Structure 1
Amino acid sequence: MKLVRFLIKLANESVTVELKNGTVLTGTVMGVDISMNTHLKNVKIVNKDSGSGTEPNFVLLDHLTVRGNNIRYFILSDSLPLDTLLIDDAPKQKPSRVRPVIGRGRGRGRGGTGRMRGRYTGGRR
């Protein structure tokens, strides 16, 4: 099973997401699309340099969408039922029939199936 297929099943689960720039997001997954773009709600964003000050450096948001290529990893809760989520319930695709090859790879240029270049064709063009 692909990782994205597993993440799509995480709807309405609480997760922590660490981004490539070090920012940590904690929230509830609303959805994940095929490009791993993740939509979260009730999000707490903790900046990577939050430990340097006396006050906590975080932001609370109702909704947030994170582009998939910015995600370093997901931290899942221990109570998550991984056994049921990892079951691959996608229908198996039948192998496609192989069509017989017509011709020998010629005819990609102008015109139909390709002409015999440099040979006499009996006056035909």
Structure 2
Amino acid sequence: MKLNNETVTIELKNGTTVHGTITGVDISMNTHLKTVKLTMKGKNPVTLDHISVRGNNIRYYILPDSLNLETLLVEDTPRVKSKKPTTGKPMGRGRGRGRGRGRGRGR
């Protein structure tokens, strides 16, 4: 993860803001932070050691201005395109009953 140990502000869909240091983000965009200041809408800020924010509750991330986005957006490893197999069953026949069942028996 390229944003580990970066201090960010996350705004949630309910208006809450979370300001802390990222410790990890998983594939569902669940975000784990440390040294957190949690400010609920219309309430006083609360300081927490650790928090996990569920990904579907996040409206957006506010990244620091000092972050160099050009280097972060470049992929480290190039993707390898897989080639389709050239041998085997013919493609494009769908998922039907198959072919070559002979003539019907009149039933």
TM category (shorter chain) comes to 0.7 to 0.9
Identical-residue share of aligned pairs (%): 52
Q: Among residues 51, 58, 66, which one is paired with 1:71 in the alignment?
A: 58
Q: Which has the larger radius of gyration?
A: 1
Decide whether aligned partners of structure 1 residues 22 and 94 sit closer, same or farther in structure 2, where only a CA change above 3 A counts.
same
Which residue pairs with 2:91 in the alignment?
A: 101
> In 1, distance between residues paired with 2:84 and 2:19?
47
> In 1, distance between residues paired with 2:14 and 2:94?
52
Which residue pairs with 1:80 in the alignment?
A: 67
Counterpart residue type for residue 66 of structure 1:
V
Which residue pairs with 2:45 in the alignment?
A: 58
Q: Which runs of 5+ in 1 are unaligned?
A: 1-7, 51-56, 108-112
Which residue pairs with 1:41 in the alignment?
A: 34
| 1:91 and 2:78 aligned | yes
Tell me which stretches of 4 or more aligned residues in structure 1 moved more than 6 Å.
none
Q: Which runs of 5+ in 2 are unaligned?
A: none
Decide whether aligned partners of structure 1 residues 115 and 89 sit closer, same or farther in structure 2, where only a CA change above 3 A counts.
same
Q: Shift of the alpha carbon at 1:9?
A: 1.5
Aligned length: 103
Q: TM-score when scaled to structure 2?
A: 0.81
More helix by share: 1
Alignment RMSD (CA, Å): 2.5
> In 1, distance between residues paired with 2:95 and 2:73?
44
Q: TM-score when scaled to structure 1?
A: 0.70
Q: Shift of the alpha carbon at 1:92?
A: 1.1
- Of residues 37-46 and 74-83 in structure 1, the stretch that sits farther from structure 2 once superposed is 74-83
Q: Shift of the alpha carbon at 1:83?
A: 1.8
